[in-house]
Amino acid sequence: MAGWRKLVFFATNILGLSCLQLQDLGGQWSLTEATGKYNNLNATVPGGIYTDLMQNKIIGDIFYGNNDTETRWVAETNWTYKYQFAVDDSILNHSTVNIVFEGLDTFATILVNDVEIGTSQNMFVRYIFDVKDVLKLGNNNIEVRFASPIITAKELSSKQGYDVPPVCPQDVQNGECHVNQIRKMQASFSWDWGPAFPSMGIWKEVYLEAFDSSVIRYLLVDYDETSDDSWMITISAYLSATKGKTLEGKLRYTLETDVSSIEQIVEVNEPSNDNDEIKIDYSFTVPKITVRNWWPNGYGEAKLYALSAQFQSGSEVSSKNIKIGFRKIEIVQEPIASGLSFYFKVNDVPIFAKGANEIPIDILPEKGQNPETIAKILESAHAANMNMLRVWGGGVYESDYFYQKTDELGILVWQDFMFACAMYPTYPEFLNNVRVEIRHQIKRLHSHPSIALWAGNNENEIALMTDWYNTKKNLTLFKNDYLKLYIDTVRSELLNITNNVLFLSSSPSNGEESEEEHYLAKNPGDPLFGDVHFYNYLVNSLVSTTYPIPRFASEYGYQSLPDADTWLTVTDDVDNLDPGSVFMYHRQHHVLGFAENSLLIGYQLNLNKSIPDYYKTYIFYSQIVQALSIKFETEYYRSFMGRVDSEGRGNTMGALFWQLNDVWVAPTWSGIDYTGKWKMLQYYAIEFFAPTIITGYLDVSRQFAVYAMSEIVSLVGVSLDVSAVVEVYSWSSFERVGFSEYNVTLEYGKSVEVNVIDTDNYLQSLGCGSLSEARTNCFFYLTLLSGNAVIAPHNLIMATSLKQSNLTKTTVEIVSIRQVDTQAKKFEISIQADGVSLFVWLDSHQIRGRFSENGFAQIGPTKNVSFQAEEATSVAELETVLTIVHLNNAEYQ
Ligand SMILES: *[C@@H]1O[C@H](CO)[C@@H](O)[C@H](O)[C@H]1NC(C)=O
Ligand SMILES: *[C@@H]1O[C@H](CO)[C@@H](O)[C@H](O)[C@H]1NC(C)=O
Ligand SMILES: *[C@@H]1O[C@H](CO)[C@@H](O)[C@H](O)[C@H]1NC(C)=O
Ligand SMILES: *[C@@H]1O[C@H](CO)[C@@H](O)[C@H](O)[C@H]1NC(C)=O
Ligand SMILES: *[C@@H]1O[C@H](CO)[C@@H](O)[C@H](O)[C@H]1NC(C)=O
Ligand SMILES: *[C@@H]1O[C@H](CO)[C@@H](O)[C@H](O)[C@H]1NC(C)=O
Ligand SMILES: *[C@@H]1O[C@H](CO)[C@@H](O)[C@H](O)[C@H]1NC(C)=O
Ligand SMILES: *[C@@H]1O[C@H](CO)[C@@H](O)[C@H](O)[C@H]1NC(C)=O
Ligand SMILES: *[C@@H]1O[C@H](CO)[C@@H](O)[C@H](O)[C@H]1NC(C)=O
């Protein structure tokens, strides 16, 4: 844990100036169970109760077996963290001495030298307590007494005077009740993809700060285009000043542009006030030719510029360094056909938002701070051509490092406020608690160029308006509560801090139409407005009529199982991997989850429980069907870019699937499993999110409509003549049986219909078989060419379901592995097949790394795939571990 701490401690003297004094209080603390059952255990701060108890071997690996429920007593217990530390006069001589907790999870009473200095009740707030009068020279002690979040939530549940539903999660989740009563990660009491670990602890840094004048708490930067040739930068510096003293000094800003360093000095002279913070606003212009725009992934460089602020008062200096990006962002909601459009425009370019929903980096909040884990997940998103992630409202406002990475990688963030799938209390203390949270999080995060949008909550408008939680009988009551919380509290706090921000009251919502309907639309899932969330696990997922045609799909998904290696990190018994096992049902938190998964698989493939190692087939099939379904659905949404149907549906401009990552090993909707390994879905995302694609789908009358579309930014305002090639192959040979080429003109952001093919007649005419059998013997293979260059991923489209396809049994083998770099991390793998082979899946098992593609179709005898290992390895080692499977071999049929 200590390896990734990043508090910066300033040297005391730079050019004769004394800096703000900081003293880290992190490190080894002691931990005591409140009734004395466990005493003076070693604990790590920052950290958390589960991590500490695992380290002390009081509990085993919480992720193993059923240990989530077996260790629940931990969260029903009060725990006290204690620490002794020495303080000298370099701290104590200052006018102000504070203790700063960057994060307390959640209910704590804090004592310094046995004097209570304060309490905490919100995990998302930074707590700062004045300790000037309680600290003494030499040894001091601090105690942080945590109260059980489960018991506290229950106690608080009587405060509203009526039940605030849902009171408890569904039984299948093995969760805890009343999480909506507390300002803590909502998923820590369980979710349908996650376990309940109601954590406690000092989950972020804790330190002493000492100063005579002030400290810069936040820098809030807004940028506006003032004219064609300048940006206007407005910086609000929030300073905490010593109470009762005039705040006097120089605030110096330095911005590094492409050509020079711009320095601005603001003279500050503010009379003392009782506010915790003094806000200093200052604006200056930056010529546009001196900076470049910040662009999302795929549109250009995510260019960042260093901005530093230094406040000097007498000889004391407080500084803050951030990076900013110059970008303009809008949501365009204009009348089209029927309804309103809904899309993001960045630097005047309409952007199709492509990506996924992020759930917390880890179920234990302290582990969610690990930069390696964060970087790996976000780099995976970037590598799969994603340009937007939604940070979902049941998790946490992620770490500073998370948003620094999204800034660097050009990944826009749709940021929810942390309210999800519930009604919430609105008694005054609750709302005040929320106010503090909103102010802190907005000031902390607003300056990140990657944050595109703030949304009030996850699904609470639609839950209320379509009666998920039996609120209908008291609708007015809950409607008023809704407006009090998200409009009068969250929205007004946000807009009071900055107007330069995009806000939606909920996700999904109808955007401006929801506002028209006073934030509570009759049908918040209306496809003609705003965003939609869409799930249906009962019908065939490879049929276009299954899906809505929305303006923006901000959630959609299907479950799959992580692979066997990943499962074996949480059980030693292979029998547990059978999808019908008690172990599996413990991990499956979605009611009817396996029944739905099997049904969905059943549309495509035959499951036979009697085959040996059935679990392997089930896992493989679940990943195939998940990848195929999300590919189909995403490409269908993309095919409505710049196009509406006869009912005015379409102009779709966003596809964020559910879900990017995992917080434990379980059947979930993720593309990346808890060990960081990519499922087939994540590999497929590279292609279905590629900037240019060619795709197609069959309608009920078996017409095959082919579409091509591009979001290559160099196409804005111009057009490109390309040729779309539709080839037909039979499953039984590498020789193609049909070929047609169509000239089409691509324009930025407009899906063009290439052609509509009368499938069965066409395939019959090519000799694929009789009118009814032709579809089972042949498939389409789409290619998009500009001149001779292939400009989109090839796309294999089946003419019928997989199980009806007359696949041939084939053999697929790795024929060579070659090292292609000098660090022994990059390898080229050559694969040979004796017939058309589907879902060829390579696995490097314990050698962690990523393939250039995986789960692919091999429609020629040889195929080369590259492998990027995380650590240096060798051809010999890879040869030993590398396995290859595919759909057509006996094992999987
Ligand atoms: C606690 O840590 C100290 C020093 O770091 C070590 O000497 C001691 O053995 C540890 N105690 C336990 C129970 O691990
Ligand atoms: C949890 O898992 C471990 C295996 O890592 C086991 O030894 C332990 O007894 C389990 N139970 C609890 C309550 O920790
Ligand atoms: C703190 O103040 C005392 C008394 O004024 C003084 O003797 C001492 O040198 C000061 N210490 C520091 C580190 O400034
Ligand atoms: C746990 O802490 C809460 C809040 O301080 C207190 O009301 C409760 O009595 C404590 N329970 C135990 C068992 O110490
Ligand atoms: C509606 O809420 C009011 C206020 O708490 C309560 O008195 C009443 O019983 C509730 N009605 C229903 C049907 O739940
Ligand atoms: C808005 O924020 C300012 C501080 O910037 C504060 O003084 C004022 O009371 C706030 N207004 C509302 C309505 O919260
Ligand atoms: C299922 O698998 C078993 C064992 O391999 C085999 O005997 C049986 O015929 C299969 N059933 C079907 C319907 O394919
Ligand atoms: C299935 O394909 C084989 C060739 O692999 C062919 O001989 C057979 O006729 C096909 N079956 C049908 C029903 O078309
Ligand atoms: C497509 O365009 C090329 C040159 O632009 C032309 O030679 C070719 O005949 C066209 N093909 C079709 C099918 O129209």
Which run of H or of E encompasses 564? Answer: helix 564-567
List, for residues 192-243, the tens digit of each pLDDT value. 999 999 999 999 999 999 999 999 999 999 988 887 799 999 999 999 999 8
Closest C-alpha to 414, from 379, 445, 371, 385: 445
Ligand 5 centroid to Cα of residue 835, in Å, is 67
Residues in the chain: 893
Ligand 5 centroid to Cα of residue 169, in Å, is 22
Residue 19 has pLDDT above 80, yes or no: no
Ligand 6 centroid to Cα of residue 496, in Å, is 6
Q: Does the C-beta of 245 come closer than 6 Å to ligand 6?
A: no
Helix ranges, 356-409 (H): 371-383, 400-409
pLDDT confidence of residue 889: 76
CA torsion through residues 481, 486, 488, 490, sign? positive
Q: What is the rounded distance in angstroms from the CA atom of residue 770 to the CA atom of residue 777?
A: 10
The one catalytic residue among 143, 366, 555, 711:
555
End-to-end CA distance of the chain: 46
Could you tell which of 93, 95, 316 is best to mutate to test the pocket of ligand 3, judged by most ligand atoms within 8 Å of the CB? 93
Of all protein residues, whose CA lies closest to atom 3 belonging to ligand 9?
A: 743
Which amino acids bring their CB within 6 angstroms of ligand 1? 28, 42
Question: Would you say 708 and 413 are in contact if contact means Cβ atoms under 8 Å apart?
Answer: no
pLDDT confidence of residue 11: 38
Nearest atom within ligand 8 for CA of residue 769: 14
Of all protein residues, whose CA lies closest to atom 2 belonging to ligand 9?
A: 743
Of all protein residues, whose CA lies closest to atom 1 belonging to ligand 2?
A: 60
Ligand 6 centroid to Cα of residue 493, in Å, is 8
Across the chain, mean pLDDT equals: 95
Ligand 6 centroid to Cα of residue 497, in Å, is 8
Please state, as a whole number, how many other Cβ atoms lie within 10 Å of the Cβ of residue 3: 7
User: Quick check: is 741 catalytic?
Assistant: no
Helix ranges, 456-547 (H): 460-465, 475-482, 492-497, 512-516
Query: Phi first, then psi: what are they for 225, rounded to 5°?
Result: -85, 120
Question: Would you say 170 and 125 are in contact if contact means Cβ atoms under 8 Å apart?
Answer: no
List, for residues 361-370, the tens digit of each pLDDT value. 999 999 999 9
Ligand 4 centroid to Cα of residue 147, in Å, is 6
Of all protein residues, whose CA lies closest to atom 1 belonging to ligand 8?
A: 806
Q: Please state the pTM of the whole predicted model.
A: 0.96
Report strand pairing: 856-858 vs 883-885: unpaired
Ligand 5 centroid to Cα of residue 489, in Å, is 24
The one catalytic residue among 459, 493, 513, 633:
459
pLDDT confidence of residue 10: 41
Q: Does the C-beta of 608 come closer than 6 Å to ligand 7?
A: yes
Q: What is the rounded distance in angstroms from the CA atom of residue 817 to the CA atom of residue 811?
A: 18
DSSP secondary structure string, 656-695? EES-S--SSSSSBS-SB-TTSPBPHHHHHHHHHTSSEEEE
DSSP secondary structure string, 306-337? EEEEEEEETTEEEEEEEEE-B--EEEE--B-S
Of all protein residues, whose CA lies closest to atom 13 belonging to ligand 8?
A: 773
pLDDT confidence of residue 891: 55
Q: List Cβ neighbours of 893 (8 Å cut-off, separation of 6 or more).
A: 807, 809, 887
pLDDT confidence of residue 274: 78
Q: Does the C-beta of 147 come closer than 6 Å to ligand 4?
A: yes
Residue 58 has pLDDT above 90, yes or no: yes
Q: Does the C-beta of 54 come closer than 6 Å to ligand 2?
A: no
Among all bound ligands, the one having the nearest atom to the CA of 76 is 4
pLDDT confidence of residue 12: 41
Question: Would you say 228 and 287 are in contact if contact means Cβ atoms under 8 Å apart?
Answer: no
User: Quick check: is 33 catalytic?
Assistant: no
Structure tokens given for 45: 């701060």
Could you tell which of 67, 68, 73, 583 is best to mutate to test the pocket of ligand 2, judged by most ligand atoms within 8 Å of the CB? 67
- Domains, the chain, in order of start with CATH, read 2-208 (2.60.120.260), 216-313 (2.60.40.10), 356-688 (3.20.20.80), 692-798 (2.60.40.10), 812-892 (2.60.40.10)
| Percent of the chain residues past pLDDT 70, beyond the cut | 98
Among all bound ligands, the one having the nearest atom to the CA of 442 is 6
Residue 849 CA neighbour count, 13 Å, CB half: 26
Which amino acids bring their CB within 6 angstroms of ligand 5? 161-162, 473-474, 477
Q: What is the largest CA-CA distance in the chain?
A: 93
pLDDT confidence of residue 890: 55
Ligand 8 centroid to Cα of residue 806, in Å, is 6
Between helices 371-383 and 400-409, what is the axis angle to 10°?
Answer: 30
SS3 label, residue 280? strand
pLDDT confidence of residue 16: 57
Q: Does the C-beta of 379 come closer than 6 Å to ligand 8?
A: no
Which amino acids bring their CB within 6 angstroms of ligand 3? 89-90, 93
List, for residues 824-840, the tens digit of each pLDDT value. 999 999 999 999 999 99
Could you tell which of 606, 608, 893 is best to mutate to test the pocket of ligand 7, judged by most ligand atoms within 8 Å of the CB? 608
Ligand 7 centroid to Cα of residue 605, in Å, is 14
Q: What is the rounded distance in angstroms from the CA atom of residue 667 to the CA atom of residue 669?
A: 7
Q: Does the C-beta of 610 come closer than 6 Å to ligand 7?
A: yes
Q: How confident is the model at residue 3 (pLDDT cuts 50, 70, 90)?
A: very low
Q: What is the rounded distance in angstroms from the CA atom of residue 651 to the CA atom of residue 343?
A: 9
Q: What is the rounded distance in angstroms from the CA atom of residue 49 to the CA atom of residue 52?
A: 5
Q: Does the C-beta of 810 come closer than 6 Å to ligand 8?
A: no
List, for residues 536-553, the tens digit of each pLDDT value. 999 999 999 999 999 999
Nearest atom within ligand 1 for CA of residue 28: 5
Among all bound ligands, the one having the nearest atom to the CA of 743 is 9
List, for residues 847-884, the tens digit of each pLDDT value. 999 999 999 999 999 999 999 999 999 999 999 999 99
